[in-house]
Amino acid sequence: MTIKIGVIGASGMAGSAITENAVDRGFDVTAVVRNVTKAKDKFGDQIDYLEKDAFDLTYDDIQGFDALIDAFAPGSESLASKHTELATKLIKLVQNHDKPRLGFILGAASLNIGNGKQLLDQLVKMPDSDEWIATPKAQFEEYQILLTSEGVDWFAVSPSGTFEPGELTEYTTGSNDMLKNKNGKSIVYSKTLAKVLVDEIEDPKHHNERFTVVSEI
């Protein structure tokens, strides 16, 4: 049976890599986008499109998906709170329904870095962090929202400390601790993250929990 998924933010760095990987595996993919023209420039007729603001989605829009992936990226620090608002909306939409399963791209801020601290504790102390800290804080809060949710099957992926566009590499996965590769770098590339996320859709292992991945380069 063909796996059907929806991808919110399919035109972004993470969303486009996830969409491409899923298409390559024969998934039936629908991009949930505000601008179909932009998405069609990327994917053409390989996928279906739902032109709608994610905040306006109804259960009827998504009930046919096996999984709905939130790869939403607001693009502005002033809109960082949209991460938590969308997570809350999606949870309420699917609560107490069998599907779709929800998948989230979290930041690295909530990963443990030792001594009882998370990466966010380190980030807030960096110079000029007030200019960009809103997004890490929002995604930290988004994870807390997921942890306290009920009646929904979700999973989440936290990229490593650095998340960049790039190819599929060998990788190592973990749970709640920030990983470093054999070169001491905490980095993951978009196609690597996409691969492990789509693996999770295809063969679910993480129910109501988060995992992380680092590229071994």
Q: Is the pTM of this model over 0.85?
A: yes
Give residue for tokens 């109501």. Answer: 208
Domain range enclosing 182 = 4-215
Band of pLDDT at residue 80, cut at 50, 70 and 90: confident
3-state secondary structure 34-45: CCHHHHHHHHCC
Q: Per this entry, what is the length of the chain?
A: 217
Nearest to 72 by CA among 153, 8, 20, 149: 8
pLDDT at residue 74, as a whole number: 79
> How many separate domains does the chain show?
1
Cα(101)–Cα(82) distance, rounded to whole angstroms?
Answer: 20
Residue % of the chain over a pLDDT of 70: 100
- The CATH number of the domain where 15 resides is what? 3.40.50.720
pLDDT at residue 77, as a whole number: 77
- 48-51 vs 28-33, strand pairing mode: parallel
